[in-house]
Amino acid sequence: MIPHEFEYASPATLQEALQLIADGSGKILAGGMSLIPMMKLRLASPGSIVDLRRVPGLHHIGESAGVVHIGAMATHHEIEISPVTRSRCPLLAEAAASIGDIQVRNMGTIGGSIAHADPAADYPAALLALEVQIRLASAASDRTVAAADFFQDAFTTAIEPGEIVVELLVPAEAGSEGYKYEKVAHPASGFAVVGVAARVQTANGKISMARIGVTGMGPRAFRDLPAQKLLEGGADVAAAAAVVGEGQETNSDLYASGDYRRHLARVHAARALAAAVSRAS
């Protein structure tokens, strides 16, 4: 199907891009992996498109003062293979490697993915477990939002009209950490039926810090605070995994019911936590 007519702009600077969307009417084009199919199906009909591919300063991946800075236009493949992400936030690199296929990873961007906020996307679980800060900019402001506050509902984020994702600020991993991203991939789309990101630190053979992010189970990704608290209080992995998703809203469709998604979340939380503990050791 052919999309509706639209105006196209390819700004050469970030400020030019921000001015073009200042009134909230323009739609950002990053990698196009979500927007273009939606436009072809006429599920989205923006009046204007602002293409960020020529904008400098949005493709970087680097570390400064213990924080990994990832530009919004960094592709999934670049995050997957970057020496910085692989050594300093390997959980994110592992999540990026699980996205779609190589064609999608070569074109899709982290900024576009999180701005789209598909409830079955892979990144949100890892961003929550890593306690990432997301930098948002508009023509009049520049602010950061914690990942826990960024993902608000299905396809709904904290991005205000006129704002774009500029970069992600990821705390560099401590040397004693272990991590794992476990996912049940939908056989047709590759999206996560359920995905669990686990990050732990151990001391004297016990878990001293635990972070668990879950995606795909409900309308938005979430940090499982009760399971984390159990682990940090001395409970074993099986006991903590058994409560993952308790009280959380679930998605249900022809492929998987809500109860089955919760079951998958618990099974894969146990696997992810066990692997993370092993890596931390």
> Tell me: the pLDDT tens digits for 169-217?
999 998 789 999 999 999 999 999 999 999 999 998 899 999 999 999 9
265: enclosing H helix or E strand: helix 258-280
Phi, psi of 190 (to 5 degrees): 80, -10
pLDDT at 205: 85
> Tell me: the pLDDT tens digits for 39-60?
898 888 888 999 999 999 999 9
Tokens 């009046």, located at residue: 47
Paired sense of beta strands 7-9 and 48-51, if any: parallel
Collapsing DSSP to helix, strand or coil, 23 comes out as coil
From its phi and psi, is residue 275 left (phi > 0), alpha (psi between -120 and 50) or beta? Answer: alpha
Collapsing DSSP to helix, strand or coil, 106 comes out as helix
> Tell me: the pLDDT tens digits for 72-121?
999 999 999 999 999 999 999 999 999 999 999 999 999 999 999 999 99
3-state helix, strand, coil in the chain (%, to 5): 35, 25, 40
* Closest by Cα among 224, 227, 222, 223 to 240: 227
pLDDT at 43: 87
Residues of the chain with pLDDT > 90: what percent?
89
Residues of the chain with pLDDT > 70: what percent?
100
Q: Which two tokens stand for residue 172?
A: 């560099």
> In the chain, what's the furthest Cα-to-Cα distance?
63
H and E: helices and strands count for the chain: 12, 14
**pLDDT mean over 130-142:** 97
Instruction: Tell me the domains of the chain and their CATH numbers.
Output: 7-51 (3.30.43.10), 61-171 (3.30.465.10), 179-280 (3.30.390.50)
pTM of the model: 0.96
Phi, psi of 18 (to 5 degrees): -65, -35
Cα–Cα distance for residue pair 242/257, rounded to 1 Å? 18
Cα–Cα distance for residue pair 253/218, rounded to 1 Å? 11
Query: Can you name the residues that pair with 50 across neighbouring β-strands?
Result: 9, 28
